[in-house]
């Protein structure tokens, strides 16, 4: 297995430009740096029918969301509630704006992008609480925005994949509206970094062990939080009775083993999970569509899986 040349270019250009690793910056600096880098490398010039920015009520105050209506929308459409990646510390609805536009148009779907609260200002479990609140708000209100309230799925990348899985688990526990599908893009499922892929890819491929420790330090409040299934969903007592899932992983990503383990447990316990693997890719590649062609393939695969789930 070799690193994809386009993925290698992303690493090389960061080194050539002397970009400091995010974990060497303060949280405020890393947030700003990631905003700039994401907007430079993401999908370019993606049209959209309409976006609506709304502040919705949450347990800790208002939660900013962005609702996307695809180009040519004429009727109520299925809905994807999307949670952005960024280690529960960086990222925003702006860093993932082009990606959400592309998903909305490709579906076509209504996409609800959630700007959940993050560390260090709002540590765990604030992101979980906001994510659940945003999903429940969508169930109750999306019909007003031309979304189909009977066809709502969750999805996200990395930390957003983690939150999507946790939202699904919490909906099952509460016996409330269960998402129709989970699109989990290289999700974090286990805070204890002990898998072989964590050892093999701990350095050199953007998501280093040092960066993961930095994210955990600014997200979690105490060491025992790592054992809370709301932070490590693979530690839930049961993964039965969950919505079907597509779980996508990347070949040079330390999170791949825990994501595969989550898919395996879902299937072993009676839920349905399909796992696909992008061998030459780095963690974070789906939001690098301006420079990595495989990002489009990853989006298209997720969109097809969502369509199939909504048609059932």
Q: Would you name the residues annotated as active-site residues?
A: 158, 253, 283
Rounded Cα distance, 213 and 272, in Å: 31
Residues 6+ apart with CB under 8 A from 211: 21, 22, 23, 87
Rounded Cα distance, 49 and 256, in Å: 35
Q: SS3 for 145-205, per residue?
A: HCEEEEEEEEEEECHHHHHHHHHHHHHHHHCCCCCCCEEEECCCCCCCCCCHHHHHCCCCC
Residues 6+ apart with CB under 8 A from 282: 3, 7, 10, 11, 205, 206, 207, 250, 252, 253, 288
């Amino acid at each position: 297995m070799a690193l994809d040349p386009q993925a290698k270019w992303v690493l090389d250009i960061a080194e050539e430009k002397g970009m400091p690793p995010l974990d060497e910056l303060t949280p405020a600096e890393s947030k700003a740096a990631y905003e700039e880098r994401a907007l430079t490398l993401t999908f370019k010039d993606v049209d959209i029918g309409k976006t609506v920015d709304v502040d919705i009520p949450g347990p800790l105050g208002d939660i900013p969301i962005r609702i996307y209506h695809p180009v040519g929308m004429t009727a109520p459409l299925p809905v994807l509630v999307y949670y952005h990646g960024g280690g529960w510390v960086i990222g925003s609805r702006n860093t993932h704006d082009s990606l959400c536009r592309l998903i909305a148009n490709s579906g076509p779907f209504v996409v609800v992008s959630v700007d959940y609260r993050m560390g260090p200002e709002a540590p765990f479990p604030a992101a979980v609480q906001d994510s659940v609140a945003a999903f429940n708000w969508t169930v109750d209100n999306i019909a007003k925005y031309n979304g189909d309230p009977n066809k709502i799925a969750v999805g996200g990348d990395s930390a957003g994949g983690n939150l999507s899985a946790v939202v699904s688990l919490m909906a099952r526990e509460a016996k409330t509206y269960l998402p129709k599908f989970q699109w989990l893009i290289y999700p974090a499922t286990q805070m204890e970094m002990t898998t072989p892929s964590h050892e093999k890819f701990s350095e050199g491929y953007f998501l280093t062990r040092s960066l993961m420790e930095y994210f955990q330090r600014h997200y979690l409040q105490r060491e025992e939080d790592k054992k809370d299934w709301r932070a490590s969903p693979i530690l839930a007592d049961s993964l039965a009775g969950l919505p079907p899932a597509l779980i996508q992983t990347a070949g040079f990503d330390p999170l791949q083993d825990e994501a595969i383990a989550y898919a395996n447990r879902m299937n072993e316990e009676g839920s349905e999970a399909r796992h696909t693997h992008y061998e030459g890719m780095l963690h974070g590649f789906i939001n690098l569509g301006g420079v990595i062609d495989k990002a489009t393939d990853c989006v298209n695969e997720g969109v097809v899986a969502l369509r199939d789930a909504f048609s059932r």
